[in-house]
Amino acid sequence: MPLDSGRRRSERARPTNKEIVQGTYQAFATGEVPKVLTLMDDKIEWTEAESFPLHGTYLGPQAVVEGVFLRLGEIGDEFTVTPTRFLAEDDTVVALGTCSWKHRSTDEPAVVQTAHVWTFRDGNIISMQQHVNTLKVQELST
């Protein structure tokens, strides 16, 4: 019996995909972007919704940094993503929550619901697909 218990502990030492996604949002919130980048596959496909201000598919961690992370200020000030629920099955994790920011010209808060679909292979993030009401984002950021 002790051998079996040890194997279970060893297998459990590796975080689940859901735990990795939860940790990713925590790292974003504390500004630990380099930590997030280590979780990404070298060929990650990060897709921002069509008609979203940063729309497009970015290939590789550096493209994600340059095309998304460094440009969030184009949407508004103090941009944050707050996940409220995580759904996981096999190699897919869906994070439901909100995106929020302050409108640059009015300082008014803006909030929209979002869904992020994360896909994994061998513990690495190979894709992220954003789903959001892009019309509402445009209305609240211009």
* pTM metric for this prediction: 0.86
In the chain the first and final C-alpha atoms are separated, in Å, by: 63
CATH code for 2-141? Answer: 3.10.450.50
Instruction: Please state, in angstroms and rounded to a whole number, the distance separating the CA atoms of residues 88 and 94.
Output: 6
Delimit the domains of the chain by residue range. 2-141
Instruction: Please state, in angstroms and rounded to a whole number, the distance separating the CA atoms of residues 84 and 56.
Output: 25
pLDDT in tens, 47-99: 999 989 999 999 999 999 999 999 998 888 999 999 999 999 999 999 999 99
Give every strand in the sheet of 77-89, ordered side by side. Answer: 56-59, 40-48, 124-132, 109-121, 92-102, 77-89
Angle (nearest 5°) at CA 130 between 44 and 84: 115
